């Protein structure tokens, strides 16, 4: 997933959602503990030993972070429970990638710095391997120069993987590329990691001298490689996907396309409010076959699968021309942004623009008996942006204790606030809040609700996006 640099990191503090961060921190600290067993802190004295061991620690921790970064990109379902939704899994993926970049950048830097007081040439040679020949000595264990050549090749693999990972991570986090080109470069992150694994396997260091360190790092490397193979190489075979046919394409509101799809075979099961990854095949000459995430606007009880998609970029602005009869590959469903996942029956839903999509799914699924009390605030700039106004009205009138409250910016002359919500919904404490919309709106309302005493565990948001 290409990160959205403007997205604020929001970490859920529900106990069941802290499992992922707890496991992540422990796995990253284990190599530090194993290193400390071999090199007690009070035994590392002097400039050269300090630089050497800082280089070792940053390399070990950076490798574990990189492995977990690859795991968190797999979209495996258990990760959603660990972190509280796929959007938060990708936040962890994003953070670990950036931290791995920092750690792996410090690794060769510290190793080279240990030589600067004695030989700048030797320091530079840490980044430019030498002594790779005679090549036959690499394969003959009884050769006089076997160990020297083996270590130089191990260093070279480390340098290749280092510059490869640094270049690819810089592209991932700091260089804005078209999505298709970004996705292509992202596939090589696993290749760089495999080369790094070879470096760890052959280099003469703590990983070769201590069995616990060796097998732990080997296990993390294998986990990272397995995740890369699963996602990037054999994903089309092992990842479960559903096949649908596009049966209707309709433009609604301002630049919003609703795509209705019918299953060709088994239909996908999902909860109201979830989203899917979709790619269209045979959709027309200008519709690419890239995977993109979209929220589901249909209810699980309805026939077919409906997506409501706003024109937000090069790909989505072409979907109005999507051809009827095109094949859709659907992966999912993902996300925990659903009223069914929480027990509180007093709820306030807040939608901003196209953020109404998951609420379209949820309102159709609400029980008729009024056992769940919902006020849906639908904030848009102009009345022309309203999506499915008639359906929202119909479903709210058919259910007890459900209200839809439009908030039209150019008529209200301002933005939706917690005070406005309190005015119509009464006291806010004791309710659960679901927010989906532009990041600035969600951040502002979250801050306002917290200021009114609403705990963070009662505020649920969907911050998933692909730029």
- Which of 334, 368, 399 marks a domain boundary? 334
Nearest to 17 by CA among 466, 461, 397, 405: 461
Q: Are residues 168 and 231 located together in one domain of the fold?
A: yes
- Given a cut of 70, whether residue 131 has pLDDT beyond it is no
- Which of 190, 210, 237 marks a domain boundary? 237
How far is residue 286's CA from residue 322's CA, in Å, rounded to a whole number?
Answer: 9
pLDDT of residue 1: 35
Q: Rounded to the nearest 5°, which phi and psi values hold at 41?
A: -60, -35
Q: Are residues 437 and 308 located together in one domain of the fold?
A: no
Q: Are residues 162 and 247 located together in one domain of the fold?
A: no
- Which of 302, 334, 366 marks a domain boundary? 334
Q: Are residues 286 and 375 located together in one domain of the fold?
A: no
Task: Name, in order, each residue with C-beta under 8 angstroms of 96's C-beta and a sequence gap of 6 or more.
Answer: 24, 65, 66, 68, 69, 72
Do the domain assignments include residue 4? no
Tokens describing residue 71: 């795991």
- Given a cut of 60, whether residue 5 has pLDDT beyond it is no
- Specify whether the CB–CB gap between 190 and 230 falls below 8 A: no
Q: Are residues 206 and 349 located together in one domain of the fold?
A: no
pLDDT of residue 159: 74
Query: How many separate domains does the chain show?
Result: 3
- Given a cut of 50, whether residue 3 has pLDDT beyond it is no
> Bigger pLDDT: 130 or 439?
439
pLDDT tens string 263-320:
999 999 999 999 999 999 999 988 989 899 999 999 999 989 999 999 887 888 899 9
Prediction pTM value = 0.81
* Beta partners for residue 15, in sequence order: none
* Band (135; pLDDT cuts 50, 70, 90): low
Range of the domain at 84: 15-237
- Specify whether the CB–CB gap between 439 and 466 falls below 8 A: no
- Given a cut of 50, whether residue 353 has pLDDT beyond it is yes
Do the domain assignments include residue 8? no
pLDDT tens string 170-185:
776 677 766 667 667 7
How far is residue 428's CA from residue 163's CA, in Å, rounded to a whole number?
Answer: 52
pLDDT of residue 170: 73
Distances (CA, A) of 338 to 10, 15, 418, 432: 17, 18, 21, 12
> Bigger pLDDT: 463 or 4?
463
How far is residue 384's CA from residue 6's CA, in Å, rounded to a whole number?
Answer: 27
Task: Name, in order, each residue with C-beta under 8 angstroms of 330's C-beta and a sequence gap of 6 or more.
Answer: 241, 242, 243, 244, 261, 268, 276, 277, 278, 305
Do the domain assignments include residue 454? yes
CATH of the domain at 393: 3.40.50.80
Do the domain assignments include residue 2? no
User: Helix 19-38 to helix 86-113 angle, to the nearest 10 degrees?
Assistant: 20
How far is residue 362's CA from residue 172's CA, in Å, rounded to a whole number?
Answer: 34
Strand order in the sheet with 402-408: 402-408, 373-380, 346-352, 432-436, 459-461
């Amino acid at each position: 997933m290409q990160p959205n640099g403007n997205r604020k990191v929001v970490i859920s503090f529900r106990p069941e959602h802290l499992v992922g961060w707890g496991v992540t921190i422990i796995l990253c600290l284990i190599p530090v503990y194993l290193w400390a067993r071999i090199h007690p802190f009070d035994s590392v004295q002097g400039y050269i030993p300090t630089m050497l061991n800082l280089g070792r620690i940053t390399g070990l921790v950076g490798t574990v972070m990189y492995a977990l970064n690859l795991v968190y990109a797999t979209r495996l379902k258990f990760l959603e429970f660990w972190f509280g939704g796929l959007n938060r899994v990708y936040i962890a993926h994003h953070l670990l990638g950036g931290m791995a970049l920092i750690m792996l950048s410090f690794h060769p830097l510290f190793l080279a710095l240990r030589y600067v007081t004695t030989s700048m040439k030797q320091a530079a040679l840490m980044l430019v391997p030498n002594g790779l020949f005679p090549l036959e000595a690499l394969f003959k264990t009884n050769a006089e120069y076997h160990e020297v050549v083996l270590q130089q090749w191990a260093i070279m693999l480390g340098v290749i993987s280092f510059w490869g990972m640094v270049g690819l991570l810089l592209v991932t986090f700091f260089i804005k590329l078209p999505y298709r080109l970004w996705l292509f470069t992202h596939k090589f992150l696993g290749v760089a990691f495999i080369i790094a694994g070879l470096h760890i396997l052959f280099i003469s260091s703590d990983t070769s001298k201590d069995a616990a360190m060796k097998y732990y790092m080997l296990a993390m490397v294998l986990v990272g490689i397995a995740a890369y193979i699963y996602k990037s190489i054999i994903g089309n075979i092992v990842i479960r996907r559903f096949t649908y046919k596009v049966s209707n394409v309709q433009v609604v509101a301002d630049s919003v396309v609703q795509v209705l799809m019918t299953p060709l075979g088994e239909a996908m099961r999902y909860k109201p409010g979830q989203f899917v990854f979709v790619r269209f095949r045979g959709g027309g000459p200008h519709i690419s076959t890239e995977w993109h995430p979209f929220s589901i606007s249909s209810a699980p009880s309805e026939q077919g699968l409906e997506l409501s998609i706003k024109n937000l970029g090069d790909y989505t602005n072409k979907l109005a021309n999507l051809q009827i009869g095109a094949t859709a590959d659907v992966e999912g469903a993902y996300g925990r942004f659903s009223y069914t996942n929480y027990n509180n029956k007093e709820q306030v839903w807040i939608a901003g623009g196209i953020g109404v999509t998951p609420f379209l799914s949820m309102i159709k699924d609400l029980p008729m008996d009024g056992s769940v009390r919902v006020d849906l605030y639908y904030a848009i700039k102009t009345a022309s942006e309203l999506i499915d106004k008639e359906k929202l009205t119909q479903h709210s009138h058919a259910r007890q204790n459900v209200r839809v409250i439009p908030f039209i910016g150019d008529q209200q002359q301002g933005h939706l606030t917690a005070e406005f919500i309190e005015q119509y919904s009464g006291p806010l404490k004791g309710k659960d809040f679901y927010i989906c919309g532009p990041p600035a709106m969600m951040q502002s309302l979250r801050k306002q609700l917290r200021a009114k005493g609403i705990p963070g565990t009662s505020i649920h948001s969907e911050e998933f996006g692909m730029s």
